């Protein structure tokens, strides 16, 4: 699972599945999120990841919980710029969420992760992918709108529920 960015100035980006218990990558990406990005991701103020948070987020099983890591090659090796989560929520349904370190936002990493998450969801025969996005999260809403113009959106208080039918 690998992708080469198309822009001429872009250095190589790859996407790979997180291994079970690989908590350091999750911590690195969390550390690269601003206070606002953390709020947009978790819908509440989250200042640190507890060991329990890290364990839960990294408990991947290849089917009901999958995490993809987007990494860019640098002088010292691969550096994580973002992660995408897929979590089963019901029969044939999975929720996706993406987070990209602030220093790498706006360069296509989020789009790449979302595309890969949907490809994985289709391969696993999920019929519907959903995302819960805060109403003021313009970047995520625009990203979803561009990638999935036929998505169903429902506003529920401060949250937009986005549903994408697959297949």
Ligand X SMILES: CC(C)(COP(=O)(O)OP(=O)(O)OC[C@H]1O[C@@H](n2cnc3c(N)ncnc32)[C@H](O)[C@@H]1OP(=O)(O)O)[C@@H](O)C(=O)NCCC(=O)NCCS
Stretch that binds ligand X, among 17-25, 61-69, 71-79, 102-110 (CB under 6 A): 102-110
Q: Which is nearer to ligand X, 21 or 133 (CB)?
A: 133
Contact 98, 15 (CB under 8 A): no
Q: Could you say which of 18, 26, 80, 109 contacts ligand X (CB under 6 A)?
A: 109
Contact 104, 81 (CB under 8 A): yes
**Binding footprint of ligand X, residue count (CB under 6 A):** 23
Q: Which is nearer to ligand X, 37 or 58 (CB)?
A: 37
Strand 93-100 to strand 128-134: parallel, antiparallel, or no bridges (unpaired)? parallel
The CA distance from 128 to 68, in Å, is 18
Residues with Cβ within 8 Å of 145's Cβ and at least 6 positions away in sequence, in order, are 151
Q: Could you say which of 68, 85, 105, 129 contacts ligand X (CB under 6 A)?
A: 105
- Residue 100 has which token pair? 């990209």
* Position 106 contacts ligand X (CB under 6 A): yes
Interface contacts to ligand X, rule CB under 6 A: 37, 40-41, 97-100, 105-111, 131, 133, 137-140, 142-143, 146
């Amino acid at each position: 699972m690998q992708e080469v960015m198309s822009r001429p100035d872009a250095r190589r980006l790859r996407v790979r599945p997180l291994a079970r218990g690989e908590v350091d990558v999750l911590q690195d990406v969390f550390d690269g999120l601003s206070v606002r990005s953390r709020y947009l991701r978790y819908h509440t103020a989250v200042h640190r990841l507890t060991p329990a948070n890290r364990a839960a987020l990294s408990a991947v099983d290849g089917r009901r919980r999958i995490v993809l890591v987007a990494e860019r090659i640098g002088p010292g090796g691969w550096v994580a710029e973002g992660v995408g989560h897929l979590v089963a929520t019901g029969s044939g349904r999975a929720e996706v969420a993406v987070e990209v370190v602030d220093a790498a936002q706006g360069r296509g990493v989020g789009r790449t992760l979302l595309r890969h998450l949907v490809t994985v969801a289709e391969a696993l025969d999920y019929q519907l992918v959903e995302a819960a996005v805060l109403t003021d999260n313009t970047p995520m809403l625009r990203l979803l709108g561009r990638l999935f113009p036929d998505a169903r959106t429902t506003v529920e208080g401060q949250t937009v529920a986005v549903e994408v039918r697959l297949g």
